[in-house]
């Protein structure tokens, strides 16, 4: 019987602590595959976040914000997430291509600028179905990670900002926040950031140790104008307010915007005949448009939902081979098709469950 090799060289380890007898297999398979997947996930996440920031920038130029008439920000957000998911999908394929081939050859300028072999033709039904699947997966993952489509828009300074969360706020009245409420808002702000700009002010000393104030949402001047509307006075429906954490900088900007807008509103009511003929100033929309806050391209605003790009990349390249990723029209189409099939199956099961419950209630 042949005994196992007990020489000292057999028990020597490689850089990751594996015996040399298995290190070659590890380097060729597990290590390289894991490294490729991690790089692709990082590239996908960065691509997704960049695409969202570009959308925020374009919306700012078009004078759109979170205060724009609903559901426009949400619809634009859905389109943005779908596009960002597709861009992450393509970027992960390119990352895989560069990671698994000769690096020096891959860094050819012509090759870097060229797209990976994702065959896409508008007249090809299968290509369109694959693109739709990638976008759909991205939208579902984005929502699953807590993302909100309307929050991709620039933050209005006179309505809820992109980073506002109801469960990170407090009930409010027309009065200023109490000392205990101010302490609570300060704690929330340091944890989740300003509801307008998203900053947690980690490196800021604040004003007398205070970094966040309890911001009335909607602001007092806006609520006063909204409650003056004839239909609210007739039905007795007053606007409810909540306290949200807002940093000192954004609070100052908000005060300046509302002060100017209130003066303009006063002119339309008590000014000259020409000024009174102008339409009333809408205080709620005063913080949008050119006054909206651009929160893109800032590292401190990265949120959990930005990992959607990494998830798309992992689905595309992890635990599969080059034939599925770069060939067969590219994009690991079989895996995305399996996701669609599973989604349709679960949707039917849920629909049948709801129907059965309705029939049981009606009996």
Where a domain ends, among 293, 317, 333? Answer: 293
- Provide the whole-model pTM: 0.84
pLDDT of residue 16: 47
Are residues 342 and 279 both part of a single domain? no
Query: What average pLDDT score do residues 236-254 get?
Result: 95
Looking at 293, 313, 334, the residue that finishes a domain is: 293
Euclidean distance between CA atoms 254 and 251, whole angstroms = 5
Which residues lie closer than 8 Å to 269 by C-beta, 6 or more apart?
Answer: 276, 280
272 plus 316 within the same structural domain: no
Q: Strands 241-247, 212-217: parallel, antiparallel or unpaired by DSSP?
A: antiparallel
* 171 beta partners: 242
Distance CA(249)–CA(168), nearest Å, equals: 20
Instruction: State how many domains the chain has.
Output: 2
Provide mean pLDDT across the span 223-239. 91
**Of 17-31, 65-79, 240-254, which gets the smallest average pLDDT?**
17-31
pLDDT at 265: 87
For residues 137 and 36, membership in a common domain is answered with: yes
Confidence of residue 1 (pLDDT cuts 50, 70, 90): very low
Give the long-range contacts of residues 343-346, CB within 8 A, separation 24 or more: 343/136, 343/140
Residues 273 and 192 in one domain: yes
Residue 108, pLDDT score: 55
Average pLDDT of span 216-227: 94
Mean pLDDT of 157-162: 96
Domain check: are 326 and 213 in the same one?
no
The pLDDT score that the predictor gives to residue 11 is: 42
On average, the pLDDT of the chain sits at 86
Q: Any idea how long the chain is?
A: 363
**Same domain, yes or no, for 271 and 346?**
no
In a domain, 259, yes or no: yes
pLDDT tens-digit series, residues 7-27? 444 344 444 454 554 455 445
Q: What is the pLDDT of residue 175?
A: 93
Tell me whether residue 1 is in a domain. no
Output the pLDDT for position 102: 55
CA-closest candidate to residue 224, choices 258, 268, 249: 258
Of 65-79, 98-112, 123-137, which has the strongest mean pLDDT?
A: 65-79
Q: For residue 9, what pLDDT is reported?
A: 45
pLDDT given for residue 17 in this prediction: 52
90 CA to centre of own chain: 19
**In-domain check, residue 3:** no
Looking at the structure, tell me whether residues 149 and 242 fall in a common domain.
no
- Does 197 share its domain with 264? yes
For residues 61 and 20, give the distance between their C-alpha atoms in angstroms, rounded to a whole number.
59
Q: What is the pLDDT of residues 162-212, one digit of tens each?
A: 999 999 999 999 899 999 999 999 999 999 999 999 999 988 887 888 999
Which distant-in-sequence residues (6+ apart) come within 8 Å of 24 by Cβ? none
What pLDDT, on the 0 to 100 scale, is given for residue 36?
Answer: 86
What is each CA distance from 312 to 55, 101, 140, 161, 305, in whole angstroms? Answer: 19, 22, 11, 28, 12
118 and 209 fall within a common domain: no
Give me the domain span that covers residue 276.
166-293
pLDDT of residue 302: 85
Going from the C-alpha of 120 to that of each of 40, 117, 124, 127, 129, the distances in angstroms are: 21, 9, 8, 5, 10
**Percentage of the chain lying above the pLDDT 90 cut:** 62
Query: Is residue 125 domain-shared with residue 60, that is, in the same domain?
Result: yes
SS3 content of the chain, % helix, strand, coil (to 5): 60, 5, 35
In this structure, are 146 and 176 located in the same domain? no
Give the mean model confidence (pLDDT) for residues 333-348. Answer: 92
Examine residue 212 and state whether it is found in any structural domain, yes or no. yes
Residue 240 lies in a domain: yes
Distance CA 214, CA 244 (A): 6
Q: Where a domain ends, among 293, 317, 334?
A: 293
Between CA 104 and CA 318 the distance in angstroms is: 23
Q: Within this chain, do residues 188 and 144 fall inside the same structural domain, yes or no? A: no
Beta bridge partners of 13: 19
Nearest to residue 134, comparing CAs of 72, 91, 184, 164?
A: 91
**pLDDT tens sequence across 97-129:** 888 765 545 455 555 555 555 667 778 888 899
| Cross-sheet strand order for the sheet of 241-247 | 170-172, 241-247, 212-217
């Amino acid at each position: 019987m042949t005994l196992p090799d007990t020489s000292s060289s057999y028990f020597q380890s490689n850089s990751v602590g594996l015996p040399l007898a298995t290190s070659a297999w590890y380097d060729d398979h597990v290590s390289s595959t894991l490294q490729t997947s991690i790089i692709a996930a990082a590239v996908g996440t960065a691509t997704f976040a960049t695409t969202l920031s570009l959308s925020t920038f374009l919306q700012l130029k078009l004078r759109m914000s979170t205060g724009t008439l609903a559901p426009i920000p949400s619809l634009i957000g859905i389109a943005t997430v779908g596009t960002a998911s597709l861009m992450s999908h393509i970027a992960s394929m390119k990352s895989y291509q560069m990671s698994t081939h000769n690096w020096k050859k891959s860094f050819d300028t012509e090759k870097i600028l060229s797209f990976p072999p994702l065959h896409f033709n508008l007249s090809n039904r299968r290509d369109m179905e694959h693109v739709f699947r990638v976008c759909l997966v991205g939208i579902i993952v984005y929502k699953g990670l807590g993302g909100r489509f309307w929050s991709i828009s620039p933050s209005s300074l006179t309505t809820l900002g992109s980073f506002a969360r109801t469960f990170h706020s407090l009930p409010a009245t027309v009065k200023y926040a109490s000392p205990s409420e101010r302490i609570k808002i300060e704690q929330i702000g340091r944890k989740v950031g300003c509801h307008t700009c998203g900053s947690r002010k980690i490196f800021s000393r604040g004003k007398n140790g205070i970094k966040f104030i309890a911001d009335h949402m909607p602001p007092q001047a806006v609520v006063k104008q909204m409650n003056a509307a004839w239909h609210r006075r007739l039905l007795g429906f007053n606007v409810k307010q909540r306290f949200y954490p807002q940093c000192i900088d954004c609070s100052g900007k908000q005060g300046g915007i509302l002060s100017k807008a209130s003066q303009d509103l006063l002119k339309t009511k008590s000014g000259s005949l020409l000024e009174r003929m102008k339409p009333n100033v809408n205080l709620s929309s005063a913080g949008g448009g050119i006054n909206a806050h651009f929160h893109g391209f800032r590292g401190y605003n990265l949120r959990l939902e930005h990992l959607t790009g990494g998830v798309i990349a992992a689905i595309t390249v992890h635990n599969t081979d080059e034939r599925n990723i770069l060939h067969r029209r590219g994009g690991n189409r079989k895996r995305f098709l399996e996701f669609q099939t599973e989604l349709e199956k679960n949707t039917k099961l849920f629909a049948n469950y709801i129907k059965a419950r309705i029939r049981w209630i009606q009996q």
